[in-house]
Structure 1
Amino acid sequence: MADYVTIESQALTRAIAAIVAAGGSSAEEARQVAESLVGANLTGHDSHGVGMIPRYVDSLLEGGLLVDRRPSVKLDSGALLALDGERGYGQTIGKAAMEMGIERAGRHGACIMTLANSHHLGRIGQWAEQATAAGMISLHFVNVMTRPSVAPFGGSDARFGTNPCCIGVPLEGQPPMILDFATSAVAQGKMRVAHNKGEKVPPGRLIDDKGQPTDDPRYVVIPPWGALLPFGEHKGSGLAVVCELLGGALTGGGTWHGPHDGSRRVYNGMLTILIDPAKVGNGADAFARESLAFVDSLRQSPPAPGFDKVRIAGEPERETRAKRQAEGIPVDGTTWEEILAAGEKVKVSRVETMRAAGLA
Structure 2
Amino acid sequence: MRYLPAPELTLFCQQLFHAAGLSLDDAQLLADSVIGSSLAGHDSHGIMLVGRYVKEIRGGEIEKECRLTFDKEFPSTATINANNSQGHVASQRVTQLAIDKALKNGVSTVTVHNLGHLGRLGTYVEMAAMQDCVAIATINNHGGATWMAPFGGTERRLPPNPLAVGAPTGGEFPLVLDMSASNVAVGKCIVAQAKGESIPIDWILDPAGNPTTDPSLLIGPPAGSLIPLGGQVAGHKGYALAFMMDILGGALSRAGCSHTTDYVSQNGFFLTVIKIENFVALADFHKEAQQLIDWCKSSPKVDDSRDILAPGEFEYLTRLERIADGLPVPESVCESYRQMAEELGVENILEL
Q: TM-score, structure 1 length as denominator?
A: 0.91
Which residue pairs with 1:278 in the alignment? 277
Which residue pairs with 2:202 in the alignment? 204
Q: Which amino acid aligns with 1:205?
A: W
Aligned with residue 86 of structure 1, among 83, 86, 102: 83
Which residue pairs with 1:305 in the alignment? 303
Which residue pairs with 1:267 in the alignment? 266
* Percent identity between the two aligned chains: 30
Alignment partner of 1:182 is 2:195: no
Q: Which amino acid aligns with 2:110?
A: M
Alignment partner of 1:121 is 2:118: yes
Contact 2:15 2:27 survives alignment (8 Å):
yes
Q: Which amino acid aligns with 1:114?
A: T
Structure 1 counterpart SS, 2:13: helix
Q: Which amino acid aligns with 1:276?
A: K
Which residue pairs with 1:288 in the alignment? 286
Indicate how the Cα distance of structure 1 residues 359 and 343 shifts in structure 2: closer, same or farther if over 3 A, else same: closer
- Compute the displacement of 1:41 (Å): 0.8
Structure 1: distance between partners of 2:155 and 2:224: 7
| Structure 2 unaligned residues grouped into runs of 5+ | none
Structure 1: distance between partners of 2:179 and 2:337: 25
Aligned with residue 259 of structure 2, among 257, 260, 264: 257
Which residue pairs with 1:359 in the alignment? 351
Q: TM-score, structure 2 length as denominator?
A: 0.93
Contact 1:196 1:335 survives alignment (8 Å):
no
Q: Deviations over 1:115-147 (max 9, x none)?
A: 112111111111111101110000001112453
Aligned residues: 347
Larger mean CA deviation between 250-259 and 128-137 belongs to 250-259
Q: Equivalent residues in 2 for 1:189-228 (5 A)?
A: 189-228=187-226
Structure 2 counterpart SS, 1:96: helix
Indicate how the Cα distance of structure 1 residues 134 and 12 shifts in structure 2: closer, same or farther if over 3 A, else same: same
- Compute the displacement of 1:222 (Å): 4.3
Indicate how the Cα distance of structure 1 residues 359 and 216 shifts in structure 2: closer, same or farther if over 3 A, else same: same
RMSD of aligned residue pairs (Cα, Å): 1.8
Structure 1: distance between partners of 2:93 and 2:267: 15
- Compute the displacement of 1:293 (Å): 2.1
Which residue pairs with 2:13 in the alignment? 16
Contact 1:51 1:339 survives alignment (8 Å):
no
Aligned with residue 138 of structure 2, among 137, 141, 146: 141
Which residue pairs with 1:60 in the alignment? 57
- Compute the displacement of 1:325 (Å): 0.7
Indicate how the Cα distance of structure 1 residues 28 and 271 shifts in structure 2: closer, same or farther if over 3 A, else same: same
Alignment partner of 1:230 is 2:228: yes
Alignment partner of 1:348 is 2:344: yes
